Chain A
């Protein structure tokens, strides 16, 4: 069930991001890019495998203050590390894209993509 909901949410995020990406307003384009990268992050997290959580699968409680018992089921930590990296990169890129769109506005006096001049 979790998997179905997650798939639906990821699909909806990608759809929303694509819709915004195709707008004429530059800020919406940046929003679209940000949402698509977040959707990719959620997808990446889901790729570690989804299992229903129970009291036995909470590593902090189980191992807290004692030696951690390895056979305990834990979530795949690698995808979480990957997502952490991807979030940081995505954050920097979004910030840059926003600053750049402000600069585009300063140079062109508009945020309308179709009025930014000829592409030769």
Chain B
């Protein structure tokens, strides 16, 4: 019934776990947000509440990891029915392997960024709404990972976006307001598209609960559904998620927004909100829409390119692959020519998301279940590496700015001699991006290449190789221009902050630790991939009530919440 649990353990644990642990991270962040808002006047109290909230959040996520996913007798997935309304009528929160893996990444980076923030803030503005917004951003990200309802996913996206709009406009200068306006306009449009897809899916299937959707789409005849229009509606959703993930052709907002936001927030935008897009693509493609019997045939006549099947997955794979390939090239080429560190890193994260999406695309197009699971594992491991490495690098930009007041490559030089700890941390992050053993990046790159090799796709390998060479080029250039060479005036007067450097050191140590002790990380990613692919286990965990089970006193047309069509 539940994939990753051995048969003996299954007998001991209940098949369906209802756990209040699932909602704990959400409540903790909400309390932290409200608490830090209440203590608006007392800076120390506000910082204290925020740090306490961050620590409690990390503990809650660790508890979910252990008690729901990793412990020997763990159920593998747990749900919380908000307000006691049974699925599919109420909002269901689901924590399974995939959600837990994503939450863990966010918890590590979030706490690092939070601690870092306490040392940057005095410069910016002590009385601003920085910390409440920080928690609301985390709230939106957490909710998006935990929700089991499509419309609720839309709401969490909005919570996350609202906070991120304000952060992009945070410094309030000309380029910040301009970047924020573009970002807002694009995402408002994306929200409208999301609503269109949600409405269409509801009208077609009569439900918005993901588990219920998955069950109904797997057997549309039994529920009287015509699943054909679902493919187009999912295409709309895919475009919304691609905007969040920043895949080409939806990448254009990234460079301006990433440079406008404070660096420690950009670390979260790249490390957490981008991953929400990736998570949504994986969750909805593989858990929800995978089994819908929709004939897809994307064979290009005369080229031998054939992608076809009786599921939306080949379509998802083909579209995702084109976007990922373009992202790798656009991101890599763009990053080589930037004139500031955060500019390089912003383009770099466009390319790195391409590296995450390539194995997902291969997983979607392949027919082999082993390769499919392996593809998701590769994508998740690469996503973890990207979160840690890019988070570290953006925080390093923050530290460089605190120390020197600039992050433009032409004003920097010789930082390695001025502050060796900063240089070593940056070096570790850059090497993790490039993929040098024994760092986390090595296994990320290795698995992605391995997936392409197992899929026997030499052109994909060539593309990945080109992307990797570009990564080496821009990482080396950034390092040479800012950390080596003659010290500039800005670097000569630099004074680094010890707490900031400590945060960088911890993240660098985490990157090395993931690389050295890779076995448990791989097992966790494997459990996450299994959870993503095992739609039956997901449906069983949520256990949505059937319309015919619902006892309405007078009976009549039944308790169908679904669309009452003409």
CB within 8 Å of B: which residues of A? 3, 21, 26, 29, 33, 36-37, 39-41, 43-44, 46-51, 69-71, 73, 75-76, 78-79, 82, 85-86, 89-90, 92-93, 96-97, 100-101, 103-104, 107-108, 116-117, 119-120
Q: Is B305 an interface residue (CB 8 A)?
A: no
With A69-B554, A85-B155 as given contacts, are A43 and B196 in contact (CB-CB < 8 Å)?
Answer: yes
Chain B, 151-207, CB within 8 A of any chain A CB = 151, 154-155, 158, 162, 165, 169, 172-175, 177-178, 180-181, 184-185, 188-189, 191-193, 195-196, 198-200, 202-203
Give complex CA distance A48, B203 in Å.
6
Checking B177, B191, B563 against A47 with a beta-carbon cut-off of 8 angstroms, the contacting residue is: B563
Checking A47, A73, A96 against B203 with a beta-carbon cut-off of 8 angstroms, the contacting residue is: A47
Give complex CA distance A108, B178 in Å.
9
**Nearest A residue to B89, CB-CB:** A78
Checking B155, B165, B192 against A37 with a beta-carbon cut-off of 8 angstroms, the contacting residue is: B192
Assess the A93–B564 pair: CB atoms within 8 A.
no
Q: Is B304 an interface residue (CB 8 A)?
A: no
Tally of B interface residues using CB under 8 Å: 45
Give complex CA distance A82, B56 in Å.
32
Q: How far is the CB of B243 from chain A (nearest CB, A)?
A: 15
Give complex CA distance A70, B556 in Å.
7
Give complex CA distance A44, B194 in Å.
11
Q: How far is the CB of A11 from chain B (nearest CB, A)?
A: 12
Give complex CA distance A101, B343 in Å.
25
Name the 9 nearest CB pairs between A and B, nearest first: A71-B556, A47-B199, A70-B554, A47-B203, A44-B199, A40-B192, A40-B195, A107-B174, A33-B188
Q: Is B561 an interface residue (CB 8 A)?
A: yes
Give complex CA distance A93, B515 in Å.
42
Assess the B203–A49 pair: CB atoms within 8 A.
yes
Provide the residues of chain B in CB contact with A29, threshold 8 Å. Answer: 185
Interface centre among B165, B184, B557, by most A CB within 10 Å? B184
Give complex CA distance A107, B175 in Å.
9
**Nearest A residue to B151, CB-CB:** A82
Give complex CA distance A97, B169 in Å.
11
Checking A41, A82, A97, A119 against B185 with a beta-carbon cut-off of 8 angstroms, the contacting residue is: A97
Secondary structure dominating the interface of A: helix
Assess the A37–B180 pair: CB atoms within 8 A.
no
Assess the B189–A36 pair: CB atoms within 8 A.
yes
Assess the B162–A49 pair: CB atoms within 8 A.
no
Assess the B557–A71 pair: CB atoms within 8 A.
yes
Give complex CA distance A39, B555 in Å.
36
User: What are 28 residue pairs bridging A and B, where the CB atoms are less than 8 Å apart in the complex?
Assistant: A3-B566, A26-B181, A29-B185, A33-B185, A37-B188, A40-B192, A41-B195, A44-B196, A44-B199, A47-B563, A48-B563, A69-B554, A71-B554, A73-B564, A76-B564, A82-B198, A90-B191, A93-B162, A96-B162, A96-B165, A97-B184, A100-B165, A100-B169, A100-B180, A103-B172, A104-B177, A120-B255, A120-B343
Assess the B184–A100 pair: CB atoms within 8 A.
yes
Q: Is B552 an interface residue (CB 8 A)?
A: yes
- Encoded as 1 (CB less than 8 Å from any A CB) or 0, chain B from 273 to 315 comes to 0000000000000000000000000000000000000000000
Provide the residues of chain A in CB contact with B256, threshold 8 Å. Answer: 119-120
Give complex CA distance A22, B195 in Å.
21
Q: Is B553 an interface residue (CB 8 A)?
A: yes
Checking A3, A21, A43, A117 against B195 with a beta-carbon cut-off of 8 angstroms, the contacting residue is: A43
Give complex CA distance A76, B557 in Å.
13
Provide the residues of chain B in CB contact with A50, threshold 8 Å. Answer: 566
Q: How far is the CB of A19 from chain B (nearest CB, A)?
A: 14
Checking A51, A89, A93, A116 against B566 with a beta-carbon cut-off of 8 angstroms, the contacting residue is: A51
Assess the A117–B554 pair: CB atoms within 8 A.
no
With A37-B191, A93-B184 as given contacts, are A49 and B177 in contact (CB-CB < 8 Å)?
Answer: no
Assess the B189–A103 pair: CB atoms within 8 A.
no
Q: How far is the CB of A33 from chain B (nearest CB, A)?
A: 5
Q: How far is the CB of A21 from chain B (nearest CB, A)?
A: 7
Give complex CA distance A114, B178 in Å.
11
**Nearest A residue to B565, CB-CB:** A49
Assess the A43–B184 pair: CB atoms within 8 A.
no
Assess the A96–B184 pair: CB atoms within 8 A.
yes
**Nearest A residue to B252, CB-CB:** A119
